[in-house]
Amino acid sequence: MSNQGKPLQDATAVDKARNVLTTTADIAVTNARATVAARRARRGGRAPSGADLTAYDPLDPAVIADPYPAYRRLLDGGPVAYNPRRDLYVVSHYEAVRAAARADGALSSAQGITRTRVNLPLLITTDRPDHTRLRRLALPAFTRPSLQRWHPVIDGLAADLVADLAAAPGADAVSRLAVPMPVRIIAHILGVPPEDQDDFRRWSDGIIEGFQLELGRDLPARFARTVTALLRLNGYLQRQIRSGRLMDGVLGDLHGTNEEGGITGEELFWFAVLLLVAGNETTTNLLSTMLLTLSRDPEQYELLRERPELVPSAIEEQLRYSSPIQGFYRTAVADHQIGPATIPAGSRVLLLFGAANRDPRQFPDPDAFDVQRDAAGHLAFGSGIHLCLGAHLARAEGQAVLRELIDRVSRVEVTGPYAWNTNSALRGLSRLPVTLTS
């Protein structure tokens, strides 16, 4: 069969993985040096043209634990603030964040979208024109009609996981429901059989760890774990594709395109990596924070039980209210104007989706969770050319779990101490003991 003819190019992908991580280490060091130099240069404390000076620090553990007080201060100021200590421009107002996400010609994703500059061959970190070609190839598999074929699996898994959680009062909803739901769905749509899914989750965790690169003494160990995970995933995908076993899923569709000369084996490998990285923890965060919100707001939960037709808008409101990705970075390729501020070429710029979604100019009474609100237009999935490819999939998963909950469960209660994860970009819970009352 023609799809089996062209395995992934092992050596190239492996070399690439090593190169990428070495380059990343170099960039991290260069970054640190640049920050020190910038700090020295700005010791006079002058605000760069048009931006408010701010002490807002996305890496401060107190901010990560509860970013909203800091967001309110940013939203009270101008659309762009500058933190000299981090040498970072921060965009927080809704209109400005949306415009910045759409200004992909001026604000590039190619040096990475998380804190550390990384140079990865992923769709999400590719600028035009390459981005246009890759996105065009991937898009058909992720449209709402294409995703219809996965709905029975999504609904079935939601029913199983909610029943499992309901049967274990006080169990951790993160490990029992929020983690397994997206990983099993992604594995399924990629065509990975259930017996390989634990490995799959491990590689995914290892790879994600490498994407949270921040300088520290354990950096070499983290690099090593990421390279190992990348190599294992690459080896696995090759074996599966050679034996024709991935052909029922999305990678099979894309590999078909490969045969027509559209996508290279290496691009296919990195696409699988991107789906793992982009689709797992984000959806886990949506599900875990949704349970917390519902437990804190029994009236809204009751309203949903009375009016199940509100489920889709409740998911949009949850995404607005607690955005799984709080912010992503860009790099200015030339001096760039946002409102009164000029961002100098080469600067790192943080687009705070989480703050924009709480901007009272766009969403009245933004700190209230209201399932009847029209939250359409929220920026939890970004905006512009990088608008989330998996948005329909994530929505389908969130809606399936919520429908299952309101069908079976009269009350969601948090029954023990819960914990937020400590990542500066991805906001969600690492532990949430709950009791679901039937």
Burial classification of residue 205, based on how many CB atoms lie within 10 Å of its CB (0-12 exposed, 13-18 middle, 19 or more buried): middle
Site for ligand HEM in 161-190 (CB under 6 A): 186
> How far, in Å, CA of 6 to CA of 61, rounded?
47
Pairing of strands 80-83, 52-53: parallel
Pairing of strands 328-332, 348-351: antiparallel
* Site stretch for ligand HEM (CB under 6 A), options 149-157, 191-199, 255-263, 272-280: 272-280
Pick from 179, 272, 286, 434 the residue near ligand HEM by CB under 6 A.
Answer: 286
Contacts of 232 (CB under 8 A, 6+ apart): 199, 203
> How far, in Å, CA of 273 to CA of 203, rounded?
9
Least Å distance, CB 133 to ligand HEM, is 11
* Site stretch for ligand HEM (CB under 6 A), options 6-14, 170-178, 191-199, 280-288: 280-288
> How far, in Å, CA of 62 to CA of 49, rounded?
29
Least Å distance, CB 221 to ligand HEM, is 28
Report the residue number, 186 or 229, with the smaller CB distance to ligand HEM. Answer: 186
> How far, in Å, CA of 183 to CA of 430, rounded?
16
Pick from 31, 54, 108, 109 the residue near ligand HEM by CB under 6 A.
Answer: 109
Binding mask 14-53 for ligand HEM (x = CB under 6 A): ----------------------------------------
> How far, in Å, CA of 110 to CA of 423, rounded?
21
If we measure between CA atoms, which residue out of 392, 388, 395, 393 comes closest to residue 101? 388
* Site stretch for ligand HEM (CB under 6 A), options 5-13, 216-224, 378-386, 412-420: 378-386
Report the residue number, 64 or 319, with the smaller CB distance to ligand HEM. Answer: 319
Least Å distance, CB 380 to ligand HEM, is 5
Q: Is the peptide bond before 129 cis (omega within 30 degrees of 0)?
A: yes
> How far, in Å, CA of 264 to CA of 8, rounded?
8
Report the residue number, 99 or 113, with the smaller CB distance to ligand HEM. Answer: 113
Site for ligand HEM in 129-148 (CB under 6 A): 135
**Rule CB under 6 A: is residue 268 a binding residue for ligand HEM?**
no
Maximum CA pair distance of the chain?
A: 67
Least Å distance, CB 290 to ligand HEM, is 10
Least Å distance, CB 339 to ligand HEM, is 20
**Rule CB under 6 A: is residue 390 a binding residue for ligand HEM?**
yes
**Rule CB under 6 A: is residue 110 a binding residue for ligand HEM?**
no
Least Å distance, CB 88 to ligand HEM, is 16
> How far, in Å, CA of 278 to CA of 230, rounded?
15
User: Are the CB atoms for 313 and 374 separated by under 8 Å?
Assistant: yes
Report the residue number, 101 or 434, with the smaller CB distance to ligand HEM. Answer: 101
Pairing of strands 88-91, 348-351: parallel
Pick from 208, 275, 343, 405 the residue near ligand HEM by CB under 6 A.
Answer: 275
Site for ligand HEM in 291-350 (CB under 6 A): 324-325, 328
Least Å distance, CB 291 to ligand HEM, is 14
Site for ligand HEM in 392-421 (CB under 6 A): 393-394
Contacts of 228 (CB under 8 A, 6+ apart): 206
Among all residues, whose Cβ is closest to ligand HEM? 390
* Site stretch for ligand HEM (CB under 6 A), options 54-62, 202-210, 237-245, 375-383: 375-383
> How far, in Å, CA of 157 to CA of 77, rounded?
45
How much of the chain is in helix, strand and coil states, percent to nearest 5?
55, 10, 35
Pick from 101, 120, 157, 207 the residue near ligand HEM by CB under 6 A.
Answer: 101
Report the residue number, 399 or 435, with the smaller CB distance to ligand HEM. Answer: 399
Least Å distance, CB 318 to ligand HEM, is 9
Half-sphere exposure of residue 392, counting CA atoms within 13 Å on the CB side? 14
Strands (DSSP E) along 323-362, which ranges? 328-332, 336-338, 341-343, 348-351
Pick from 141, 229, 311, 380 the residue near ligand HEM by CB under 6 A.
Answer: 380
Give the angle subtended at the CA of 314 by the CAs of 320 and 274, to the nearest 5°. Answer: 55
User: Are the CB atoms for 279 and 390 separated by under 8 Å?
Assistant: yes
Binding site for ligand HEM (CB under 6 A): 101, 109, 113, 123-124, 135, 186, 274-275, 278-279, 282-283, 286, 324-325, 328, 353, 380-382, 386, 388-390, 393-394
